[in-house]
C-alpha cells in the first residue's frame, strides 16, 4: 500500500449516471492514488461495470451529476479517445469482435496514436512487430493472434489476454479492468494476473472490477470497495474480499441500511 502522499490520479465525487433514462450510478466517491490497486466488488446490477464504462466514456451512459478529475483535469471534458491518450485504459468485460480489421494493424494504430499524443516515438510496422511480440511473451500469447481480425473468433481467455496485451502496449496511468477474470480458467487467470502485476509501477494504478475473490489472490488490492445500488457502501482492505467470499454481500447491505436509518 502506498502512502497518503502519493499523487492522486483519479478523484470521483458524487458521480451519478443514467442509461436510457434509468439512474444506475447514484453518487460514487472514490480516490485512487498512484501505485494503488483498488478492487470494486458487489452483486450483479450494483453498477460496477457502468462505473467502469462511464470513466472510459462509453456513449450509452449520461453523466447526470458529480465530477471526476483525472490527474487534475476534468475527465468529462475529454472524449473517449482523448481519455485513452491521457492514460485511461478500460479492459472490456466483453472485448468487441471486429472482423476485417487486423489485430496488429489496430494495435499499431492505437499504439502510435497514444505515443504521438504523449510526445513519444512512433513505430513503423516492422519495429512495432518486434515490440508487440516482446509484449506477447509476457502473456504467453501465440504471435498468430497478430494476423487475425481483432478478437474475431477468439476464445474468452484469448480475448482477455488480448486486452492485457493492449494495456501493456498503451502503458496507461489508470487501468480499469472490468471483470477481466470472468471466463478464465485458473492457468489463464494466473497468466493474465501476472501480466497485470508486471505492468504495475509506483506511477500507475489499477481498478479491478470483479465478482470473485480469486483474482485478488493474484493481484493483491490495497482497497476493496463494495458497490450496491449505484453507490460504494463499504471500503476495506484486502481482508474484506475474503470476508465477502465467505459471508456474501447481504450483511454489508444490511449494515449500510442500518447506518442510513440511524442517520
Partner 1 sequence: MSVSAGHPYVEALLQGSRGLPPSPLSWLNQRRAQALERANALTVPTTRDEEWRFTDLSPLTKMHFQPVQAAGALTLTLSDIEGMLVPEAGLRLVFVDGMFAPALSALDGLPAGMQFANFAQGFKVGAALAEKHLACHVGFDDNVFAALNTSYLRDGALITLAKGVVCAAPVHLLHIATQKEAASYPRCLLIAGSGSECMLIEDFVSLQDGAYLTNAVCEIVLEADARVRHVRLQRESLNAFHIANCAVVLEKDAVYQSHAVALGARISRHNLNVVQNGEGAEMKIDGLALISGRQLADTHTLMDHARPHGKSTQLHKCIAGGAAHAVFNGKVFVREGAQLTDSAQQSRNLLLSPKAHVDTKPQLEIFADDVKCAHGATVGQIDAEQLFYLKSRGLPEAQARNLLTYAFGAEIIDRIPVPSLVARLERTVLEQTQTGQQPS
- Under rule CB under 8 A, residue 92 binds partner 1: yes
**103-117 helix and 156-170 helix, angle to the nearest 10 degrees:** 30
| 144 Cβ neighbours under 8 A, 6+ residues apart | none
- Under rule CB under 8 A, residue 79 binds partner 1: yes
DSSP-derived letter for residue 6 is S
Candidates 22-30, 87-95, 178-186, 203-211; binding stretch for partner 1 (CB under 8 A): 87-95
**Contact in structure between 191 and 140 (CB atoms under 8 Å):** yes
- Under rule CB under 8 A, residue 166 binds partner 1: yes
- Under rule CB under 8 A, residue 138 binds partner 1: no
Of the candidate residues 96, 126, 186, 261, the single one contacting partner 1 (CB under 8 A): 96
- Under rule CB under 8 A, residue 195 binds partner 1: no
Candidates 57-65, 179-187, 191-199, 205-213; binding stretch for partner 1 (CB under 8 A): 57-65
- Under rule CB under 8 A, residue 8 binds partner 1: no
Contact map string, positions 11 to 50, toward partner 1, x by CB under 8 A: ----------------------------------------
Q: How far apart, in whole angstroms, are the C-alpha atoms of residue 144 and residue 137?
A: 12
Candidates 39-47, 85-93, 205-213, 250-258; binding stretch for partner 1 (CB under 8 A): 85-93
DSSP-derived letter for residue 39 is E
Closest by CA position to 132, among listed 147, 153, 149, 113: 147
Q: Between residues 15 and 175, which has the closer beta carbon with respect to partner 1?
A: 175
Report, in angstroms and rounded to the nearest whole number, the Rg of the chain calculated over CA atoms.
18
Between CA 34 and CA 42, with CA 38 as vertex, the angle to 5 degrees is 160
- Under rule CB under 8 A, residue 57 binds partner 1: yes
Closest distance of CB 50 from partner 1, Å: 14
Candidates 28-36, 100-108, 133-141, 216-224; binding stretch for partner 1 (CB under 8 A): 100-108
In the block, which residue shows the cell 497518503?
A: 4
- Under rule CB under 8 A, residue 143 binds partner 1: no
- Under rule CB under 8 A, residue 165 binds partner 1: no
Strand partners, 23: 18
Cell of 134: 516482446
- Under rule CB under 8 A, residue 98 binds partner 1: yes
**Contact in structure between 151 and 159 (CB atoms under 8 Å):** yes
Residue 51 DSSP SS3 = helix
- Under rule CB under 8 A, residue 90 binds partner 1: yes
- Under rule CB under 8 A, residue 106 binds partner 1: yes
Kindly give the residue spans of alpha helices, DSSP state H, lying in the chain: 48-56, 80-86, 103-117, 125-138, 156-170, 186-199, 214-218, 238-247, 250-262
- Under rule CB under 8 A, residue 252 binds partner 1: no
Q: Summarize as ranges the residues that interact with partner 1 (CB under 8 A).
A: 56-60, 79-81, 83-85, 89-90, 92, 95-96, 98-101, 106-107, 109-110, 113-114, 117, 149-150, 166, 170
Amino acid at each position: 500500500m502506498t502512502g497518503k502522499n502519493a499523487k492522486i490520479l483519479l478523484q470521483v465525487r458524487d458521480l451519478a449516471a443514467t442509461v436510457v433514462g434509468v439512474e444506475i450510478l447514484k453518487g460514487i466517491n472514490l480516490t485512487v492514488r498512484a501505485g494503488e490497486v483498488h478492487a470494486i466488488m458487489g452483486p450483479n446490477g450494483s453498477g460496477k461495470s457502468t462505473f467502469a464504462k462511464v470513466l472510459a466514456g462509453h456513449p450509452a451512459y449520461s453523466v447526470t451529476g458529480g465530477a471526476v478529475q483525472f490527474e487534475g483535469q476534468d475527465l468529462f471534458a475529454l472524449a473517449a479517445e482523448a481519455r485513452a491518450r491521457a492514460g485511461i485504459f478500460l479492459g472490456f468485460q466483453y472485448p468487441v469482435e471486429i472482423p476485417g480489421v487486423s489485430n496488429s494493424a489496430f494495435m499499431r494504430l492505437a499504439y502510435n496514436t497514444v505515443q504521438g499524443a504523449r510526445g513519444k516515438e512512433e513505430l513503423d510496422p516492422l519495429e512495432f512487430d518486434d515490440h508487440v511480440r516482446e509484449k506477447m511473451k509476457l502473456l504467453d500469447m501465440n504471435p498468430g493472434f497478430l494476423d487475425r481480425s481483432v478478437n474475431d473468433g477468439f476464445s474468452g481467455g484469448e480475448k482477455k489476454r488480448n486486452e492485457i496485451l493492449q494495456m501493456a502496449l498503451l502503458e496507461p496511468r489508470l487501468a480499469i479492468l472490468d471483470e477481466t477474470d470472468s471466463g478464465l480458467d485458473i492457468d489463464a487467470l494466473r497468466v493474465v494476473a501476472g501480466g497485470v502485476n508486471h505492468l504495475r509501477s509506483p506511477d500507475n494504478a489499477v481498478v479491478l472490477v470483479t465478482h470473485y475473490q480469486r483474482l485478488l489472490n493474484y493481484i493483491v488490492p490495497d482497497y476493496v470497495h463494495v458497490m450496491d445500488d449505484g453507490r460504494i457502501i463499504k471500503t476495506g482492505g484486502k481482508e474484506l474480499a475474503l470476508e465477502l467470499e465467505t459471508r456474501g454481500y447481504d450483511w454489508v447491505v444490511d449494515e449500510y441500511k442500518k447506518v442510513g436509518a440511524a442517520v
